[in-house]
């Protein structure tokens, strides 16, 4: 039985005269890897920003796990179980790798001025638990040896992994990855693919933007294609690949 | 030699107070890239509230040791300034958060003037004496002297600085503050309530400012509605000298500025052949500001601007 995890419909987002998202609808089922592709400027990242609360859509419906998340604040969205990474890596550059992941635990733990200043035992315990969980996640993504290094000193591939660990620290049900393989060599891409499959097998649904078509075809259960802010196709990878509208969007119309 | 030592002691006392105030500027700048010019007025109001509170207690024949009276005064002044810091951000800066950076800067100057005038309406335009409740024993050593009050000022500053650094480096809240300073959008996505963190930053800075204001007033035995202006500018200079946005830099800048000012003013008369006396010590703070802005705008410990962009 497939259970619908995320459902959006009729989503519009305009920036002045630009209609960045035009009546976009999609559903993501629990446990799948859902791909989002489209030419540059198609609105993929805008859709990500809407789904994670960074942008407020102009109209539409957005439910996640049965909860209405339309126009909600980012910390509500992340609290509901959606986490993301960024196309251009956005780590806290001057904090250690471990601390980056610890910040990700923020949404799942309590914070009070009182607790921070007087540090009663439960606060100390919580802090220790945060640290332990963050360390676990660094191991999970394969970079425990970099825990104490500043995020900005990590290699590019490791920064990507760190960003994924930080997103996982929020205990997401849906992990949204914005071009995680961008700039990676084939070996790194293959490792990343394995990591994404591991994450999915551990019960986290994945929404993925990626330009690496080979990677997408081999990894995704379903793919949606955006072009000029509209969804022009959706389906299993092989269906999408042979869809004439998709070929047209990427390559232009074939001459008769 | 003894004059030199004496000026170093004076410099450390003044410098530690500058450091406390400079932290308020630099913390807010680190998170919002805003110069909160009203911070000097917070310092002044902290001093004024404390004096009023102590006088009230003395007037009602409360017989307590001086340091305890001072603590009670501070216990009143700190919440007042924290609330004020919160309100200033909420009313004057938050609505302008997406406005061009010049707008909140001008608002900050406006808030500063409003607070100054309000203080003058409440406490009058004359100097207010700081109640003589604190022991002023003098410790002599090496030909120089230091009062117990000055020792207390330095000690209290050190305790507060260590406390602040522990809060920022070791606690979850501090981590959220650092994360917000580096990237508010991403911090938001990690579940950090950025608005709360910003409010908190203003409140912590204001509390430190209030303590600093009381220490200054106690050291000079007086307070005045205009006192926040000059001390605010100097602490701002200290923050720029250390590298604005950098906490360690604010402390270093504060102490350096205190030392430069103190040593400079001690020898100013000799240097100018008696033409300028030590009352011109303010020259040094602003000379430092100008030199830093020309030769090292990012400050001693500041990041290069390109890294922030």
Question: Cβ of B178 and A52 within 8 Å?
Answer: no
Q: Which two tokens stand for residue B17?
A: 């107070």
**Residues A73, A182 share a domain:** yes
Q: Is A132 exposed, middle or buried (0-12, 13-18, 19+ CB in 10 A)?
A: exposed
Judge whether B46 and B115 are in contact, CB under 8 Å.
no
Asked if pLDDT for residue A86 goes beyond 60, the answer is: yes
What is the C-alpha to C-alpha distance for residues B97 and B31, in angstroms, rounded to an integer?
A: 12
Q: Between B282 and B114, where is the model more confident?
A: B114
Mapping DSSP to helix (H, G, I), strand (E, B) and coil, where does residue A56 land? coil
Asked if pLDDT for residue A17 goes beyond 80, the answer is: yes
Nearest CA among B41, B68, B39 for reference residue B53: B68
Question: Cβ of A92 and B183 within 8 Å?
Answer: yes
pLDDT recorded at residue A29:
92
pLDDT recorded at residue A114:
66
Asked if pLDDT for residue B305 goes beyond 50, the answer is: no
Rounded to an integer, the average pLDDT of B46-55 is 95
A176-235 confidence digits (pLDDT tens): 999 998 888 888 889 999 999 999 999 999 999 988 888 888 899 999 998 888 888 888
**Residues A230, A212 share a domain:** yes
Distance from the B168 Cα atom to the nearest Cα atom in chain A, whole angstroms:
10
- Last-in-domain residue among A171, A186, A201: A171
**Residues A178, A167 share a domain:** no
Find chain B residues with C-beta within 8 A of A104's C-beta: 190
Question: Cβ of B192 and A75 within 8 Å?
Answer: yes
Q: Which two tokens stand for residue B94?
A: 């938050």
This prediction has a pTM of 0.87
Rounded to an integer, the average pLDDT of A74-95 is 89
- Last-in-domain residue among A148, A171, A194: A171
Count other C-beta atoms under 10 Å from residue B12's C-beta.
19
Find chain B residues with C-beta within 8 A of A73's C-beta: 188
Percent of chain B that is helix, strand, coil (3-state, to 5): 75, 5, 20
pLDDT > 70 fraction of chain A, expressed in percent and rounded: 95
Query: What is the residue-averaged pLDDT of chain A?
Result: 88
Taking CA atoms, what residue in A is nearest to B190?
Answer: A104
Find chain A residues with C-beta within 8 A of B171's C-beta: 116, 119, 127
* Total number of domains in chain B: 1
**Angle at Cα B240 formed by Cα B95 and Cα B242, nearest 5°?**
125
What is the C-alpha to C-alpha distance for residues B216 and B224, in angstroms, rounded to an integer?
A: 11
Find chain B residues with C-beta within 8 A of A107's C-beta: 190-192
| A174 bridge partner residues | A82, A205
* Alpha-helix residue ranges (DSSP H) falling in chain A: 44-51, 74-80, 97-104, 113-118, 121-141, 156-168, 186-201, 213-219, 237-242, 244-251
pLDDT recorded at residue B156:
94
Find chain A residues with C-beta within 8 A of B186's C-beta: 86, 90-92
Asked if pLDDT for residue B298 goes beyond 90, the answer is: no
- Show the domain range for A198: 1-81+172-256
Question: Cβ of B171 and A127 within 8 Å?
Answer: yes
- Last-in-domain residue among A171, A190, A208: A171
Judge whether B93 and B104 are in contact, CB under 8 Å.
yes
**Residues A188, A254 share a domain:** yes
Distance from the A42 Cα atom to the nearest Cα atom in chain B, whole angstroms:
23
Find chain B residues with C-beta within 8 A of A93's C-beta: 182
Taking CA atoms, what residue in B is nearest to A55?
Answer: B185
pLDDT recorded at residue B308:
40
B128-170 confidence digits (pLDDT tens): 999 988 887 888 887 888 999 999 999 999 999 999 999 999 8
Residue A123 sits in a domain whose CATH number is 3.40.50.300
**Residues A164, A115 share a domain:** yes
Asked if pLDDT for residue B118 goes beyond 90, the answer is: yes
Residue B149 sits in a domain whose CATH number is 1.10.3470
- Show the domain range for B148: 2-308
What is the C-alpha to C-alpha distance for residues B168 and A101, in angstroms, rounded to an integer?
A: 17
**Residues A200, A163 share a domain:** no
Taking CA atoms, what residue in A is nearest to B203?
Answer: A113
* Total number of domains in chain A: 2
pLDDT recorded at residue B269:
75
Q: Which of the residues B189, B198, B248 would you substitute to probe the A interface, choosing the one with the greatest number of A C-beta atoms within 10 Å?
A: B189
**Residues A136, A152 share a domain:** yes
**Residues A250, A203 share a domain:** yes
Query: What is the residue-averaged pLDDT of chain B?
Result: 90
Which residues of B have a CB under 8 Å from any CB of A? Answer: 167, 171-176, 178-179, 182-183, 185-193, 200
pLDDT > 70 fraction of chain B, expressed in percent and rounded: 97
Asked if pLDDT for residue B306 goes beyond 50, the answer is: no
Q: Between B17 and B65, where is the model more confident?
A: B17
CA distances (Å), B45 to each of A207, B110, B123, B194, in order?
53, 16, 10, 27
Rounded to an integer, the average pLDDT of A49-65 is 89
- Pairing assessment for the beta strands A82-84 and A174-178 based on DSSP bridges: parallel
Radius of gyration of chain A (CA): 19
Q: Which two tokens stand for residue B243?
A: 């590298």
Nearest CA among B9, B13, B10 for reference residue B153: B13
**Residues A255, A192 share a domain:** yes
pLDDT band at A248 (very low <50, low <70, confident <90, very high): confident
pLDDT recorded at residue B96:
93
B173-203 confidence digits (pLDDT tens): 899 999 999 999 899 888 888 999 999 999 9
Q: Which helix (H) or strand (E) holds A222?
A: strand A222-227
A27-38 confidence digits (pLDDT tens): 999 999 999 988
Find chain B residues with C-beta within 8 A of A78's C-beta: 189-191
- The ipTM estimated for the assembled molecules is 0.81
pLDDT recorded at residue A250:
76
Count other C-beta atoms under 10 Å from residue A99's C-beta.
22
* Alpha-helix residue ranges (DSSP H) falling in A83-209: 97-104, 113-118, 121-141, 156-168, 186-201
């Amino acid at each position: 039985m497939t259970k619908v995890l995320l459902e959006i419909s009729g989503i519009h987002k305009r920036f002045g005269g630009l209609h960045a998202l035009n009546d976009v609808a999609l559903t993501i089922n629990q446990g799948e890897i859902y791909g989002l592709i489209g030419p540059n400027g198609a609105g993929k990242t805008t859709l990500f920003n809407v789904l994670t609360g960074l942008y407020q859509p102009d109209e539409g419906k957005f439910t996640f796990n049965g909860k209405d998340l339309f126009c909600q604040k980012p910390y509500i969205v992340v609290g509901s179980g959606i986490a993301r990474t960024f196309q251009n890596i956005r780590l806290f550059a001057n904090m250690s790798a471990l601390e980056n992941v610890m910040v990700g635990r923020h949404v799942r733990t309590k914070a009070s001025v009182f607790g921070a200043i007087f540090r009663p035992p439960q606060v100390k315990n919580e802090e220790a638990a945060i640290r332990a969980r963050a360390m676990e996640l660094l191991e999970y993504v394969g970079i425990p040896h970099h825990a104490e290094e500043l995020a900005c000193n990590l290699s590019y591939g490791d920064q990507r992994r760190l960003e994924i660990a930080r997103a996982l620290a929020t205990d997401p049900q849906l992990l949204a990855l914005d071009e995680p393989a961008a700039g990676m060599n084939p070996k790194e891409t293959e490792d990343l693919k394995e990591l994404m499959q591991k994450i999915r097998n551990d019960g986290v649904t994945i929404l993925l933007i990626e330009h690496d078509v080979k990677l997408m075809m081999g990894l995704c259960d379903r793919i949606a294609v955006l072009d000029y802010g509209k969804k022009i196709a959706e389906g299993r990878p092989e269906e999408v690949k042979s869809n004439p509208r998709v070929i047209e969007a990427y390559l232009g119309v074939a001459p008769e | 030699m003894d004059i030199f030592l004496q000026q170093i002691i004076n410099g450390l006392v003044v410098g530690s107070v500058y450091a406390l105030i400079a932290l308020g500027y630099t913390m807010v700048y680190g998170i919002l890239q805003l110069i909160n010019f009203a911070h000097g007025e917070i310092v002044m109001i902290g001093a004024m509230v404390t004096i009023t509170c102590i006088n009230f207690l003395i007037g009602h024949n409360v017989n307590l040791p001086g340091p305890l009276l001072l603590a009670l005064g501070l216990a009143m002044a700190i919440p007042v300034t924290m609330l004020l810091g919160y309100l200033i951000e909420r009313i004057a800066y938050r609505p302008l958060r997406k406005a061009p950076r010049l707008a909140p800067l001008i608002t900050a100057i406006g808030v500063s003037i409003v607070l100054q005038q309000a203080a003058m309406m409440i406490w009058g335009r004359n100097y207010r004496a700081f109640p003589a409740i604190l022991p002023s024993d003098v410790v002599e050593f090496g030909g120089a002297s230091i009062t117990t009050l000055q020792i207390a000022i330095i000690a209290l500053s050190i305790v507060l600085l260590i406390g602040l650094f522990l809060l920022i480096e070791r606690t979850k809240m501090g981590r959220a503050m650092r994360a917000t300073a580096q990237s508010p959008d991403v911090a938001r996505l990690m579940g950090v309530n950025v608005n709360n963190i910003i409010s908190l930053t203003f409140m912590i800075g204001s509390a430190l400012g209030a303590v600093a204001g009381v220490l200054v007033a106690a050291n000079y035995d007086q307070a005045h509605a205009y006192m926040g202006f000059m001390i605010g500018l100097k602490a701002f200079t200290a923050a720029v000298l250390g590298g604005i946005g950098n906490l360690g830099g604010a402390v270093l800048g504060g102490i350096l500025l205190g030392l430069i000012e103190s040593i400079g003013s001690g020898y100013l008369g000799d240097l100018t052949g008696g033409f300028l006396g030590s009352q011109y010590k303010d020259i040094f703070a602003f000379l430092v500001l100008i030199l830093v802005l020309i030769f090292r705008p990012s400050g001693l410990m500041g990041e290069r601007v390109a890294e922030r962009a």
